[in-house]
Amino acid sequence: MSLNNLSKKDYMEILHFYKIPIPTNIEEIREKVESVMGKKMCKCIKKVGGPNYTQGEARAIGICTRSIFKNKGLHRGKITCKNKPRVEMKKKKTKRKTKRKTERMK
């Protein structure tokens, strides 16, 4: 399994899913998606973490990652919730399975 960066089409699908206007420049699109997904992730972590935020943070990150990224076929990279909420995203690269030819032993 290898991960690669998202394409422009992937970024546009995310913005379309959340009904956010799509900018024209690819850099602006990437910025917008990373900030939107970062905000969603940070909100989710704080809600799931509850009053004992420091104890349940790892659990909350796992739950939120699965609900926000994994169900859409995405993988998250670094996450920041301090000044500007940000998330780096990757996409799973799929490989085609091929049949191997095996020689018969005589």
Q: Where are the domains of the chain?
A: 2-93
Give the amino acid at 72: K
Q: Per-residue confidence of the chain (106 residues) as pLDDT tens digits?
A: 444 577 888 888 888 888 999 888 888 888 888 888 889 988 888 888 777 666 678 888 888 888 888 877 788 888 888 888 888 877 665 566 666 666 666 5
- pLDDT score recorded for residue 90: 74
Q: Pick from 43, 42, 19, 20: which is nearest to 31 by CA?
A: 20
C-alpha–C-alpha distance, residues 9 and 88, integer Å = 16
Q: Crossing angle, helix 57-68 and helix 26-49, to 10 degrees?
A: 130
Q: What pLDDT is stored for residue 3 in this prediction?
A: 46
Do 8 and 30 contact (CB within 8 A), yes or no? no
pTM of the model: 0.72
